[in-house]
Copies of this chain bind each other. A is one copy, B any other.
Amino acid sequence: MIRVQTEDFDIGAEIGKMTAGNSEIGGLASFVGLVRDYAGDEKISSMTLEHYPGMTEKQLSRLEAEARERWDLQDVLIIHRYGTLNPGDRIVLVVTASAHREASLESCQFLIDWLKTKAPFWKLEDRESGAQWVESRSEDSVAADKWVRVTDA
């Protein structure tokens, strides 16, 4: 399941819903991304996430489908927030559940790596020196590319 929303999410409740009544789940991996208070040595007072409504939902659904195709998963949840967030606020939640720990851990890492470069979000940091767009990092492209399969090339 995917959700794009301005509201915060409750990690425990989301995981609880996923595991309640499904005792085929042996391993559940999750990742939470949060707004940090510093970018380098500059204090951040807030971060505004802009996204591409319509395309965002399509892309996240596609990422979920891709993860389910690559791994034997019991469940997948991606929640991505947009709007203005403060340091310490949660931005994104990825949860993957499988019978086996390897599948859950790997697919969670996969989804986070691909979200970085394939989910249409842009981040504007409100820094002491003024507003600054978060630049894409080459390490993120490298991390995303390591999941490209030879058959996809």
What number of A residues sit within 8 Å (CB to CB) of B? Answer: 39
**Interface majority SS (helix, strand, loop, mixed), chain A:** mixed
Binds B, one of A28-36, A48-56, A58-66, A117-125: A28-36
| A153, CB-defined interface residue at 8 Å | no
* A32-B27 in contact (CB<8A): yes
A36 to B139 CA separation, bound complex (whole angstroms): 37
Chain B neighbourhood of A11, CB < 8 A: 11-12, 15-16
The residues of B that contact A143 with a CB separation of less than 8 Å are 102
> CB within 8 Å of B: which residues of A?
10-13, 15-16, 19-38, 87-88, 90, 99, 101-102, 104-105, 108-109, 112, 139, 143
